[in-house]
Amino acid sequence: MITIAIPARMKATRLPNKPLLDIVGRPLIAHVIDCARRFDGAQIVVATDDLRIAEVAEREGVMAVLTRSDHATGSDRLAEVADRLEWTDDQIVVNLQGDEPLMPLSCLHAVVAALKEDSGAAAATLAMRIDSIAEALDPNAVKVVSDAQSRALYFSRAPIPWPRDAWRESQRVLPDGALRRHLGLYAYRAGTLRRFAALPPAPLESIESLEQLRLLHHGLKIAVRDTPEAIPPGVDTPEDLARVRAHFVGEQKQQVDHRWLFMCLGNICRSPLAAAYARKCAAEQGLRVHVESAGTLSSHAGERADGGARELAAIEGVDVSQHRARQVKIEDFERFDRILAMDDRNMADLSKLCPPEHRHKLQLLLDYAPHIGRRTVPDPYGQPLSGFQRSYELIVAGVDGLVMATLK
């Protein structure tokens, strides 16, 4: 069994009483519990030193363990829980921070898989690329660098690695993929938690105020994997709280009649363009449609749309600026009522993944454009702009047909 442990305390300096702050009628910690519930079969435990948080957890139907109030880190708190609940040393524990109400299920699965894959690692965590100078220089965005075995070399609040040549005169250009942001999501075995709590704090841990540096200082390995999809920042500041509240308010208001998922191979060329054009068309026609895109592969997860796709989108007046690639998830087959593939390979891959009861949702996009005399949208990856233009013309024909069929 996997245990998802949620450490939570009331002593945050920037947001006092943070776990109990209201978000659309429920406390923040309740939304974090909702994230944990999506992991089928997991035991959920809230670890806290505050009776009010424990009462919320119990109202939500999950176990709460009241711990000592003198723990310096969340991992120290979970080590006490491991002893109190008598977890065996090989019990896998996911540390889901109590201020992460938007954590995707795919990331919980990914961090568990990373720990299982690396038998020499004491813990596992996730990272995603940094795409802005502001984030690179933000001390609240913790950076991580890894070795050839995808294990952490160091974590820092400073920009690491430092792009010496690119930043020789000005920190205005961010080398593509040079920096990665660490996400505060960990998986470890209960024995590692006990060992962590028994080790003295490391000097670098105290300087950076990063508990994971204790493991590195004492020679323990941390596996680092890229996130399977983009993750919004947690709730650390009043601005974060406002953003998360707006997200949940938007979810409540979003009453849709249709849900479309556009699929291609890597989710950086065809499917983000199709999704962007579909959103534009649906809005113009007054259709209430929720639109997303995904890829059958994970090789580009977390990346922006391809440069050719971004250039073409700017020319055509569709928006892919916020797109981050992700791999299709098993729950997508239930969430969406139409899953639209660009080519036969996508269809074959989707058919293998899709539960039988949802296979009727799988279609080729160009099934909605029979007049053009072809079935598939070619992949323009690595081609000049003209290749993207040819694919986009076919995407437009397919999406136009889809919209017209939906309006009938």
How far are the Cα atoms of 56, 142, 272, 295, 402 from residue 277, in angstroms, in the given order?
43, 35, 9, 17, 12
User: Using CB atoms within 10 A of its CB, is residue 115 exposed (0-12), middle (13-18) or buried (19+)?
Assistant: buried
Between helix 28-37 and helix 105-117 the angle, nearest 10°, is 60
Which entry of 76, 118, 189, 264 is annotated as an active-site residue? Answer: 264
Contact 122, 191 (CB under 8 A): no
Catalytic annotation present for 264: yes
Backbone Cα Rg of the chain: 23
Which entry of 195, 270, 304, 326 is annotated as an active-site residue? Answer: 270
**CA separation for the pair 177, 101 (Å, rounded):** 27
Catalytic annotation present for 304: no
Residue 161, preceding bond cis, omega within 30 degrees? yes
How many residues in the chain? 408
Structure tokens at 164: 């010496």
Catalytic annotation present for 379: yes
With residues binned 3-state (H G I as helix, E B as strand, rest as coil), the percentages for the chain, rounded to 5, are 40, 20, 40
The residue type of 240 is D
**Of 257, 251, 253, the residue nearest 288 (C-alpha):** 257
24: left (phi over 0), alpha (psi -120 to 50) or beta: left
The strand pair at 22-23 and 26-27 is best described as: antiparallel
Half-sphere exposure of 50 (CA within 13 A, CB side): 15
User: Which residues are known catalytic residues?
Assistant: 264, 270, 379
